[in-house]
Amino acid sequence: MNLENPQDEIKLDDLGGGSQAGLKEQKHNPLIRMAGLFALSRWYVKLLIVLGCLVIPLVVPSNYAMRVIIYIGLYIVLALGLNVVMGFTGLLNIGHAAFYAVGAYTTAILMVKYGMSFWLTIPVGMIFGILFGILLGFPTLRVRDDYLAIVTLGFGQIVYIVANNWMGLTRGPRGIPGIPAPRIGFSDWQFVIDSYPAYYYLILLFVFITIYACVRIIDSRVGLAWMAIREDEDVAAVMGINLVYYKTLAFGFSAALGALAGSFFAVFQSFVSPNSFTILESVIIITIPILGGLGSIPGTIIGAVVMIGGPEIFRSASEYRMVLMGAFMVIMMIVRPQGLFGKKLYQQTYKM
Amino acid sequence: MFWQQMVNSISLGALYSLLAIGYTMVYGIIKLINFAHGEIFMCGAFFTWWIMTGFSIPFPVAALMGIMLSTLLGIGVERIAYRPLRNAPRFAVIISVLGMSIFLQNMARIVWGAEFQTFDVDFGLAPILIGNVVIPFKKIFILATSLILMAALGLYVKKTYIGKAMRATAADPEAAEMMGININAVIVLTFAIGSALGAVAGILFAINYNSIDPFMGFNAGLKAFTAAVLGGIGNIYGAMIGGILLGIFEGIGAGYVSSLYRDAFAFGVLILVLIFRPEGLLGELGKSTRRDKTR
């Protein structure tokens, strides 16, 4: 990397949060220089993407397509949250739907029972999410790998069982209907978010906040510590990284994003029931960063577009969706374990 | 009431033991959890039901065929989801096997339908009455089958030459290979035995509840895994004890606290064990919790 002339730096994936090793050779390759003009780090590329996102409701013809696009946004928030734990910290979490459920139920209960404003329920939901994240993060300090997978699986299942059986709080399988639409404004001027374009802009805002938060935290000391833990936990501990603190932080951060998505889901659907937060939901969320590339933010976003948008295109095959997803997970791990846009992990590059 | 509850709990616990053995044997050899084991359990019951009702073949023959098919399925799982990833990071293997499990579960849903199917086996024998405790014959059948199979497995692993090879592979795969043991054959055999026992557990489970559905493997598998961890994963006797203990815990929890939270109770036990005694009751410290860098 040429430090004297920083303008010449070519960053192919700034958002990836990885190292820029090997750039010296790339600099002299004209093709890569050309590609660098369209890299995500260029301000005009970012502006184009934002503008492109803003005009989507104007060009999309049907409400149905709009609905699918809103779901893609929702899953981008969920998958980016999970990506923090799975992709950057390297901890398996097969219970992400639990945080999603916590956010959705917090918003639903506070809005329906206590008439709270949607905007206030978001921070409350996120705080509850963080508490659950810490609760789940705690066992991770003791267990690793496949044990961790089982613990998170069990945790997700416990949250589902509680949501299904605690009639007094969640009304069990009957769910909570009639969640009001969010409002902006004061007593005499009110804007109600109840149309598809309005919901689209709301989720777009959440997606941008999530991407920004992820990029910033990944490029910080915290992100470096997470990646060090992912590459080798023991070495990271020896280097002075506080495993307890950073692992809990990863789970808390991930859970807060999961809860944010849940809050949106509650008002968008205006109905929550335990069936939206089954183990299959967690699996769908997991497959997104796996497809896009664990530890890659652009990859995860593309993964969400493919995984959520894809099955809608082939609606006739919806019955086979889960079968294909399972087969896909196996094949992906055999053929390209780092995902479409992911980088090889240290552990994969160098066999120990 | 208490003893009635106990009889049910112990026969259910024996089922968990049988299923837990599959997890613990595979873990002992390759140090990985076979997430697809619950699906083998489910397929065992479904194959038997399918052969029994579809071809009107009597139960014992159908059960044997079902066990054989499930064993083949277990070997297939090893061949497809594990072997290509033998040297991959554990992360990749877990996701691959999880994918296998989802694949099998939903394949079963498509082939056999998502609704509950009646699995009816009539032994034609009257329940036994001890005091005022009613013991249906099927409970005795379940308990006896489980105990006989577990004893047979214990002897097989302890006394035979192949059992010795299995123990050697579990202790140190590289050294075992240098001693001339065919590791691949041992792994396949382990999957085969584990799957066969899992299929038997599935059939006994179906006899116990008289109904089967494509998603029954998930909860039962998670509970059996809990049992394996409770007893000390990698240890066959631990799996036996852990299963029966979990059955009793669950029976007490469901009977005296709330039956709605029966499943949550089992997972709670799992999480507590993993936090406070990850090596389990009979496991050795450091052996089961060791992070194996070569995998």
Q: What does the pLDDT profile of chain B (295 residues) look like in tens digits?
A: 778 888 888 888 888 998 998 888 888 888 788 888 999 999 999 999 999 888 888 888 899 999 999 999 999 999 988 888 877 777 778 888 888 988 998 889 888 888 888 887 777 777 777 777 778 888 888 888 888 998 898 899 889 998 899 888 888 888 888 988 888 899 999 999 999 999 999 999 998 888 888 888 888 888 888 888 888 887 888 888 899 988 888 888 777 777 777 777 777 787 788 777 777 777 664 444 444 433 3
DSSP assignment of B88-104: S-HHHHHHHHHHHHHHH
Mean pLDDT of A250-263: 93
pLDDT by residue (tens digit) across A301-311? 888 888 888 77
DSSP for A198-263, please give it: HHHHHHHHHHHHHHHHHHHHHTSHHHHHHHHHHH-HHHHHHTT--HHHHHHHHHHHHHHHHHHHHH
User: Closest approach of chain A CAs to the CA of B1, in angstroms?
Assistant: 25
Contact assignment for B88 to A337 by CB distance below 8 Å:
yes
- Inform me whether the C-beta atom of residue A333 falls under 8 Å from chain B C-beta atoms: yes
Cβ-defined contact of B94 to A146 (cutoff 8 Å): yes
Distance in angstroms (rounded) separating the CA atoms of residues B109 and B107: 5
Comparing CB atoms, the residue among A90, A94, A162 nearest residue B264 is A162
Cα-based distances in Å from A28 to A3, A25, B235: 16, 6, 58
**In this complex, do B81 and A139 lie within 8 Å of one another by their Cβ atoms?**
no
Residue B45: HSE in the Cβ half-sphere, 13 Å Cα cutoff: 33
Q: Which residue of A has its CA nearest to B260?
A: A165
Q: Does A143 touch chain B (CB under 8 A)?
A: yes
Alpha-carbon span B169 to B219, nearest angstrom: 30
Convert the pLDDT of each residue in A44-97 to its tens digit.
888 888 888 888 877 877 888 888 889 999 999 999 999 898 888 888 888 899
Q: Which residues of B touch A149 (CB under 8 A)?
A: 33, 35, 94, 98
Candidates A159, A279, A329, A348: best to mutate against B (most CBs of B within 10 A) is A329
Q: Across the A/B interface, how many CB contacts are shorter than 8 Å?
A: 135
Has residue A38 been placed in a domain?
A: no
Contacts of B101 in chain A (CB under 8 A): 326
- In Å, what is the CA distance from A215 to each residue of A83, A222, A298, A316, B274? 12, 11, 11, 37, 34
In this structure, is residue A82 part of a structural domain? yes
Cβ separation of A143 and B278 shorter than 8 Å? Answer: yes
pLDDT (tens digit per residue) in A274-300: 888 888 888 888 888 888 887 888 888
SS3 A175: coil
Ramachandran class of A46: left when φ > 0, alpha when ψ lies in -120 to 50, beta otherwise: alpha
CA dihedral B170, B147, B193, B201 (to 10 degrees): -120
Q: CB-hemisphere CA count at 13 Å for A326?
A: 23
More confident residue, B275 or A215: A215
Please judge whether A329 and B95 are an interchain contact, meaning their C-beta atoms are less than 8 angstroms apart. yes
Helix H or strand E encompassing B20: helix B2-30
Closest in A150, A320, A333 to B33, CB measured: A150
pLDDT at A11 over 70: no
Mean per-residue pLDDT for A190-207?
Answer: 86
B222–A153: do the CB atoms touch at under 8 Å?
A: yes
DSSP state of B284: P
Cβ within 8 Å, pair A322-B102:
yes
Q: Do A149 and B102 touch (CB under 8 A)?
A: no
Select the residue of A142, A145, A234 nearest B94 (Cβ to Cβ).
A145
CA gap B160, B249 in Å, rounded:
35
Distances (CA, A) of A9 to A45, A47, A218: 16, 20, 20
Task: Please name the residue that has the structure tokens 């072997």.
Answer: B83
Nearest residue in A to B291, CA atom: A144
Domain ranges of chain B: 2-114+137-276
Q: Minimal Cα–Cα distance from B278 to chain A, Å? A: 8
Contact B98 A325 (CB under 8 A): no
Nearest CA in chain B to A351: B294
C-alpha distances out from residue A48 to A38, A40, A44, Å: 11, 10, 6
Residue position matching structure tokens 């961890």: B229
Q: Are B194 and B74 in contact (CB under 8 A)?
A: yes
Is residue A128 very low, low, confident or very high in pLDDT (cuts 50, 70, 90)?
very high
What is the percentage of chain A residues whose pLDDT exceeds 90?
A: 20
- What distance in Å separates the CA atoms of residue A319 and residue A135, rounded to the nearest whole number? 36
Closest residue, chain A, to B270 (C-alpha): A151
Q: How many independent structural domains does chain A possess?
A: 1
Q: How close does chain B come to A76, measured CA to CA in Å?
A: 20
DSSP state of A31: H
* Tokens encoding A70: 């809103």
DSSP letters along A4-19, please?
Answer: S-GGG---S-GGG---
> Which A residues, 253 through 312, put their C-beta within 8 Å of a C-beta on chain B?
279-280, 283, 286, 290
Q: Check which CATH number belongs to the domain holding A147 and give it.
A: 1.10.3470
Report pLDDT for B237: 85
- The answer on pLDDT for A4 being more than 50 is no
Nearest to A139 among B92, B271, B291 (CB): B271
pLDDT over 60 at A176, yes or no: yes
Closest CB to A92: pick one of B94, B104, B264: B94
- CA–CA gap between residue B221 and residue B219 (Å, rounded): 5
| Nearest-CA distance A324 → chain B (Å) | 7
**What are the tens digits of pLDDT across the range A153-171?**
888 888 888 888 888 788 8
Between the alpha carbon of residue A239 and those of residues A17, A19, A155, A235, the distances in Å are 20, 18, 31, 6
Domain limits at A229? Answer: 60-349
**A272 DSSP β-pair partners:** A176
The rounded distance, in Å, linking the Cα atoms of B74 and B196 is 8
Tell me which residue in B33, B35, B267 faces A154 most closely, judged by beta carbons.
Answer: B267
Of A94, A165, A290, the CB nearest to B261: A165
Task: Please give the class, per CATH, of domain B2-114+137-276.
Answer: mainly alpha
Residues with Cβ < 8 Å from B232, sequence gap 6 or more? B238, B242, B279, B280, B281, B282, B283, B284, B288
Q: Where are the beta strands (DSSP E) in chain B?
A: 117-118, 128-130, 133-135, 211-212
Q: Is A112 on the interface with B (CB under 8 A)?
A: no
Q: Is A144 on the interface with B (CB under 8 A)?
A: yes
Residue A348 and residue B268: Cβ atoms within 8 Å? no
Question: What residue type is A318 in one-letter code?
Answer: S
pTM above 0.80, yes or no: no
Asked if residue A262 is part of any domain, the answer here is yes
CB contact under 8 A, B98 and A94: yes
Convert the pLDDT of each residue in B45-103 to its tens digit: 999 999 988 888 888 889 999 999 999 999 999 998 888 887 777 777 888 888 898 89
Write the Ramachandran bin of B83: left for phi over 0, alpha for psi from -120 to 50, otherwise beta: alpha
Closest CA to A301 of A204, A218, A220: A204
| Interchain CB distance below 8 Å, A351 and B94 | no
In angstroms, the separation between the Cα of residue A25 and the nearest Cα of chain B is 29
The pLDDT of residue A321 is above 80:
no
How far is residue B35 from each of residues B166, B224, B288, measured CA to CA in Å?
A: 21, 11, 17
- Percentages helix, strand, coil for chain B (3-state, rounded to 5) are 75, 5, 20
- The pLDDT value recorded for residue A47 is 84
Distance CA B22, CA B39 (A): 12
Residue A1 has pLDDT above 50, yes or no: no
Element spanning A86, H or E? none
**Contact across the interface for B99 and A333, Cβ inside 8 Å:** yes
Which phi and psi angles does B214 have, rounded to 5°?
A: -65, -15
Does A47 reside within a domain?
no
Residue A158 in contact with partner chain B when CB distance is under 8 A: yes
Tell me if chain B has a CB within 8 Å of the CB of A238. Answer: no
Say if A45 falls within a structural domain: no
Interface check A204 vs B, CB under 8 A: no
Q: Residue A16 has what pLDDT? A: 42
Tokens 């994936």 identify what position? A13
